[in-house]
Amino acid sequence: MKGTIEAAIQQFVHAAIESEAISAIDKNYVTNRLLAIFDLNSIDELEDTNQSGDLLSAMDQLVEFAREKGMIDESHADQEIFEAKLMDLITPQPSVVNHIFWDKYHNESPEAATDYFYHLAQQNDYIKTRNIAKNILFTSQSQYGEMEITINLSKPEKSPKEIAAAKNNPSSNYPLCALCFENEGFKGDKSHAARQNHRIVRLDLDGKTYGFQYSPYVYYNEHSIFINEHHEPMKVHKQTFKNLLAIIDHLPHYFVGSNADLPGVGGSVLSHDHYQGGHHTFPMEKAPIYQHISLDNYPMIEAGLVDWPMSVIRLRTSDKEQLVQCADDILQAWIGYSDEARDILAYTDDERHNTITPIARMKDGQYEMDLVLRNNRANEEHPDGIFHPHADVQHIKKENIGLIEVMGLAILPPRLKTELADVRAFLLDKEELSQVETMHQAWAEDLKANYHPTTETEAQEIVEKSLGDIFTRILEDAGVFKTDDDGRTGFEQFISYFNQQ
C-alpha cells in the first residue's frame, strides 16, 4: 500500500474487520474517527484495501505517522496513550462487553465467557502480548516438584527523562490508584497508564460489586484481577474467604487468591482491596499432603499439611459455609499465635505480624482452599524480614514474596537478563571475574568450582537449575515453619493449639 496516513488508516480498518474486532457496518464510523484524530477531512478508497494485514502492525504504522506529524513525542507514555486511543475505537463500550460476557456465560458456559473476554483484551492490545513474548520462562525441578521461573521483561522500563517528567506532573486524585474502576477508559498521562481500551466485567460477590479484568502484563494463562468497586485497603478477614469462594462459584475453572494484607509479606498494592486468579495450575496446587490432620470442630472438612517450602494448610469440603468459618477460625488463631523458639511473634508492642495468604479453587466437585501462614517480623539479623528472602539470596530476588511466588512461580527482575549472561560467560571463561556483577561473584565462583560447562547450552542449564534451587530456598526462607523435623513439629503444635481454641 501507499506510504500515507490515508493508506494506513484503511489498512487498520480492514485489519479490524478481517479479525472481527469490528463489523463491516462499522467501517465508515471507525474511518471517520481516525480521520478526526489525524485532522484529515477526507479519504480516497485505495484499490488494494483488501490486502491482509495484522491489526497490531497496522496500529504501529499509525503510531509512527503520529510521531512524524509531531502529535506524540518519543516517550513510551505518549506512545501508549496514543495506542490505547486507537484501540478504543475497536473495543465495545463497557455495557456491551458486560452484556456479551453474561450472555455467553448463561447461554454457553463460564469458559465461553472468559474465552471471549480474554480474546478481546489480547486483540485490542490491553494485554500486551508482544511485550509478554519477551519474558524468559523455564521450569526447574525441586524436592517439592517443578518450580516455574519467569524473568519479567514485558513491562517497558521508563527512561530517566520519563521518570523526571512523571515526578513533575501535577498530582491528581483521579483515579485514586491503578486498580480503581475509574481507570476504565481513562486517557492516561506521564505518571498514570493509559486505559482507554480497558474494560471491566461486573461481578456480584455476596451483595457487593467487584470488577473482573485481566492483567495487562499477564504472568500466567488468563491472569485475572478482581477489584473492589470502592477504594478500600486490602484486608484478609472472613469476608475475604466468602469472596474467594463466590468467585469460584462464578468461575469454577479458575483459581483465585488474595495477597496477604501486611507490609513485607503482601503484594505491591495494599491500598485497594483486590484478588488475583486465572486459568493456570501452579506448582503448589500439585504438591501433595504430607500429613492429614483432624480439625476437632470441623470433622466434615478434609484437612492436611502440604509438602511445600512454605507453611500451607489445605482444606477441602463441599460445604462452603463451613469452609469459610473454618478458614476464619484458623486466621484468628494464627493472628494471635507465637512460637518464640522458632522466631514467630504475633505482636511487637501493638504491631501485628501474623496473617494468611489464601488461595481457593474447585477440585473434583469440592471447594479447596490453601491457607499459607505468613509473618512479617524483622530483627537485626534479618532487617528485611525473618521470613523473607535472606541476604545471601537477595542478589536474585529481594522483593516481597507475594501470592504468585507463594504458589511456585518466581517473578524475577529484568536486570537478571544481562547479569546472568555475564555469569554464563564467566563459567565458560569468556569474561574476567571483575565483569560479573559484584553481588553475583560468590555465586558465580561457587558454580564454577562445581561445574565445568563447555558449551552455551550447558552453561544455560547450570544457571537455570541454580536459579530454581535459589527460588526454592527463597520460599523456604518465607516459610514460618521450616520443612525439617523441628519445623514440622512446630506446625503440628500450632494445629494442636488451634484445636484447643
Phi first, then psi, for residue 44 (nearest 5°) are -100, 135
Name 316's bridge partners.
302, 368
Q: Provide the pLDDT for residue 432.
A: 57
Q: Is 313 left (phi over 0), alpha (psi -120 to 50) or beta?
A: beta
Distance (Å) of CA 370 to CA 105, 219, 304, 346, 403: 27, 21, 10, 21, 12
Classified as helix, coil or strand, 29 is helix
Q: Provide the pLDDT for residue 161.
A: 57
Query: How many Å apart are CA 458 and CA 455, to the nearest integer?
Result: 5
Within its chain, how far is the Cα of 257 from the centroid? 11
Identify the residue whose cell numbers are 495487562.
216
Please check whether residue 459 is in contact with residue 424, taking contact to mean a CB–CB distance below 8 angstroms: yes
Name 373's bridge partners.
356
How much is the CA Rg of the chain, to the nearest whole Å? 25
Identify the residue whose cell numbers are 513485607.
264
Please check whether residue 241 is in contact with residue 361, taking contact to mean a CB–CB distance below 8 angstroms: no
Beta strands in 82-186 (DSSP E): 136-142, 145-151
Nearest 5°: CA angle at 199, between 194 and 203?
A: 135
pLDDT (tens digit, 0 to 9) for every residue of the chain, 501 residues total?
Answer: 347 899 999 999 999 999 999 999 999 999 999 999 999 988 887 555 455 679 999 999 999 999 999 999 988 899 999 999 999 999 999 999 999 999 999 999 999 999 999 999 999 999 999 999 999 999 999 999 999 999 999 876 555 555 455 555 556 789 999 999 999 999 998 888 999 999 999 999 989 999 999 999 999 999 999 999 999 999 999 999 999 999 999 999 999 999 999 999 987 789 999 999 999 999 999 999 999 999 999 999 999 999 999 999 999 999 999 999 999 999 999 999 999 999 999 999 999 999 999 999 999 999 999 999 999 999 999 999 999 999 999 999 999 999 999 999 999 999 999 999 999 999 998 865 557 899 999 999 999 999 999 999 999 999 999 999 999 999 999 999 999 999 999 999 999 999 998
Phi first, then psi, for residue 71 (nearest 5°) are -75, -30
Q: What sections of 227-357 are H helices per DSSP?
A: 238-250, 283-286, 320-335
Query: How many Å apart are CA 362 and CA 368, to the nearest integer?
Result: 6
Query: How many Å apart are CA 18 and CA 184, to the nearest integer?
Result: 26
Helices 55-68 and 5-18, axial angle in degrees (round to 10): 160
Distance (Å) of CA 225 to CA 122, 180, 254, 391, 474: 15, 11, 12, 31, 25
Domain residue ranges of the chain, discontinuous segments joined by +: 5-71, 411-478
**CB contact set of 342 (below 8 Å; sequence gap of 6+):** 480, 481, 482, 486, 487, 490
Q: How many CB atoms lie within 10 A of CB 395?
A: 18
Per-position DSSP letters for 379-419, written without gaps between them: -SS-TT-TTS--GGGTTT--S---HHHHTTEEEE-TTHHHH
Query: How many Å apart are CA 229 and CA 220, to the nearest integer?
Result: 24
Please check whether residue 89 is in contact with residue 33, taking contact to mean a CB–CB distance below 8 angstroms: yes
Name 52's bridge partners.
none
Please check whether residue 389 is in contact with residue 401, taking contact to mean a CB–CB distance below 8 angstroms: yes
Three cell numbers at 222?
488468563
Burial profile 296-318: b = 16 or more Cβ within 10 angstroms, e = fewer: eebeebbbbbbbbbbbbbbbbbe
Torsion angle of the four alpha carbons 439, 441, 443, 447, in this order, in degrees rounded to the nearest 10: 160
Q: Provide the pLDDT for residue 454.
A: 94
Query: How many Å apart are CA 204 and CA 247, to the nearest integer?
Result: 9
Write down the pTM of the prediction. 0.94
Please check whether residue 202 is in contact with residue 97, taking contact to mean a CB–CB distance below 8 angstroms: no
Q: Provide the pLDDT for residue 45.
A: 72
Q: Provide the pLDDT for residue 252.
A: 98
Beta strands in 103-165 (DSSP E): 136-142, 145-151
Three cell numbers at 233?
485497603
Please check whether residue 131 is in contact with residue 154, taking contact to mean a CB–CB distance below 8 angstroms: yes
Which DSSP state fits 213? E
Query: How many Å apart are CA 223 and CA 242, to the nearest integer?
Result: 21
